[in-house]
Amino acid sequence: MLPRFEYVKPDRLEEALSFLDMHSNESRIIAGGTDLLVKMREGKTRPLWVVDLSGIREFGGVELKSETISIGPLATIREVEESPLIRDKAPMLSAALKEFAFWQIKNMATLGGNLCNASPASDLATPLLALSSKLRFLSLRGERIIPIDDFFLGPGETAIRQDEILAEILIPTPKSKLWAFNKLGKRSAHVLSIVNVAAAMEISQDRCEDLHLALGSVAPKPVRAKGVENYLKNAALSDKQIWEASKKVVNDIDPISDLRASAEYRKEMSVKLTEKSIKDAMDRGKT
């Protein structure tokens, strides 16, 4: 049973923006609904209005705008996963989406909803962090673009304002082809992460030129592992060096114990999956 609310479906962007402007406190946007309906059922949110954005055309789709990949907030996980553009230009995101939930949910859930839901365990925030994405918001007051690093504030908390809509996810096309995504859960598939790690890397002459490493489910919000990144910057990539760097990840994270795992296990797994992700990314250069 869902709590009572009214349903509105604006046809045009301006309509949606003015509705949100008037009812910002008491309304919730619905995209795929896979988070919102669960939360409403649990009584965690009780909006008076549920605002359906699916009538707004410009919010779907994936396209390349000069050197930037643009993803509409209503693009479903499935669409993005299967998009030839994403497979080609941002295969790490495709790989992460492959491990996300399962078919039915992928057909409904959106990238925008996933980000705005700000689950610390999100499987999408980490690749988007590692890919240095930016987010564009719209409100009656105008437009705002922020780096994704500034977006997540805590569990369920983001920098989005009550009257704003997430209007676009922008990913600069990655220069390097070295990447990895690793997810660990309690079961082989269809499971929420105990930890997930996304790595994007550039190597030159066996030295690490640049590393972007992000981890999920091991802190109140998805995090970049700056400690590891800095440690490896310009370093030679020996097994030992990678292992030493991976161990540094514990300073970048702040895991809790919950139903899915203990904080200690999350720490150990962050180290192991960091090591594995760096090596997996390097392996891509070899083939």
Partner 1 sequence: METDPYKLLDKWLKTKKFNVIGRGMERTDALDKVLGRAKYVEDYFSDGMLFGSLVKSEQSHALIQHIDISGVEHLSDSCSVFTAEDIPGTNEVGYTIPDQPLLAAKKVRFHGEPIALVVAEDPDLAKEGTELVKIRYKPLKSVFDPLEAIDSKIRVHEEQGSNIVLKTHSSKGNIVEGFSKSDVLVKHTYRTHYQDHAYLETEGAVAFPASNGVRVIGSIQYPHLAQQITARVLGIGTDQVEVVQAVVGGAFGGKDDMGPLLCAQAALIAFKLGKPAMVTYSREDSMIAHCKRDPAVVEYKSGATRDGKLSAIEARIIFDSGAYANRGPFTLWRATMHASGPYEVPNARVEGYLVYTNKVFQGSFRGFGNPPVQFAVESQMDELAEKLGMDPLEFRLKNILRKGSRTLTNQLLEDSVGIGEALSKAKEKSNWKEKRTEYRKASGDKVKGIGVACGWHGISTSQGVPDWSNALIKIDREGKVAAYTGITEIGQGTHTGHVQVVSEVLGIPTDLIKIEGGTTAAPDTGATHASRGMSVGGIGLILAAEKLKQKMEKTAARLLACTSSQVRFGRGLVFSAKSPERSIRWNDLIEECYKEKIELSAEGYFGLPKGKFDGKKGQGFAYPTFSYIVNVAEVEVDLRTGMTKVLRIWPALASGKIINPVQVEGQVEGAIAQGLGYALMEEIALKDGVVLNPNFTDYLIPTTFDMPEIEKPIYVEDLFRYGPFGAKGVGEMSLIPTPSAISNAVYHATGSRIRELPATPEKLYWTIKSAAESRTKQRKEGTSP
Partner 2 sequence: MKEGKVLVRFRLNGKPVETFTKPNDTLLNLLRRNLGITSVKRGCEVGECGACTVLLDGNPVVSCLILAPTVEGKEITTIEGISKEGELHPLQQAFIKAGAVQCGFCTPGMILTAKALLDKNPNPSLREIKEAIQGNLCRCTGYTKIIQAIQLASKEIKSSCISD
Ligand X SMILES: Cc1cc2nc3c(=O)[nH]c(=O)nc-3n(C[C@H](O)[C@H](O)[C@H](O)COP(=O)(O)OP(=O)(O)OC[C@H]3O[C@@H](n4cnc5c(N)ncnc54)[C@H](O)[C@@H]3O)c2cc1C
Q: At what angle do helices 239-247 and 263-286 cross, to 10 degrees?
A: 150
Q: Quick one: which of 28, 33, 268, 284 contacts partner 1 (CB under 8 A)?
A: 268
Interface ranges with ligand X (CB under 6 A): 28-36, 38, 53, 73, 100-101, 105, 108-110, 112-114, 116-117, 119, 122-124, 160, 165-166, 192
Q: What is the CA radius of gyration of the chain?
A: 19
The residues, ordered by sequence, that sit 6+ positions from 196 with a Cβ below 8 Å of its Cβ are: 96, 99, 121, 123, 126, 181, 182, 183, 184, 215, 216, 217, 273
Q: Strand 134-139 to strand 142-147: parallel, antiparallel, or no bridges (unpaired)?
A: antiparallel
Q: Which does 255 bind (CB under 5 to 8 A by kind): partner 1, partner 2, ligand X, none?
A: none
Q: Is 210 left (phi over 0), alpha (psi -120 to 50) or beta?
A: beta
Q: Is the Cβ–Cβ distance between 71 and 171 less than 8 Å?
A: yes
Given the complex with partner 2, which of 43 and 154 has the nearer CB atom? 43
Round to whole Å and give the CA distance between 248 and 241: 11
Residue 162 tokens, joined:
């009550």
Residue 2 tokens, joined:
């869902």
Q: Strand 134-139 to strand 165-172: parallel, antiparallel, or no bridges (unpaired)?
A: antiparallel
Q: How many residues bind partner 1 (CB under 8 A)?
A: 19
Determine, following the binding rule CB under 8 A, whether residue 190 of this chain makes contact with partner 1. yes
Given the complex with partner 2, which of 17 and 50 has the nearer CB atom? 50
Q: State the binding string over 163-192 for partner 2 (x if CB under 8 A, else -).
A: --------------------------xx--
Q: Which does 265 bind (CB under 5 to 8 A by kind): partner 2, ligand X, partner 1, none?
A: partner 1
Determine, following the binding rule CB under 8 A, whether residue 37 of this chain makes contact with partner 2. yes
Given the complex with partner 2, which of 6 and 143 has the nearer CB atom? 6
Q: Which does 286 bind (CB under 5 to 8 A by kind): ligand X, partner 2, partner 1, none?
A: none
Q: How many residues bind partner 2 (CB under 8 A)?
A: 29
Determine, following the binding rule CB under 8 A, whether residue 103 of this chain makes contact with partner 2. yes
Round to whole Å and give the CA distance between 192 and 71: 24
Round to whole Å and give the CA distance between 145 and 24: 20
Q: Which positions touch partner 2 (CB under 8 A)?
A: 2-7, 9, 30, 32-34, 37-38, 40-41, 48, 50, 52, 54, 78, 101-105, 107-108, 189-190
Q: Which positions touch partner 1 (CB under 8 A)?
A: 1, 184, 186-192, 194, 259-262, 265, 268-269, 272, 276
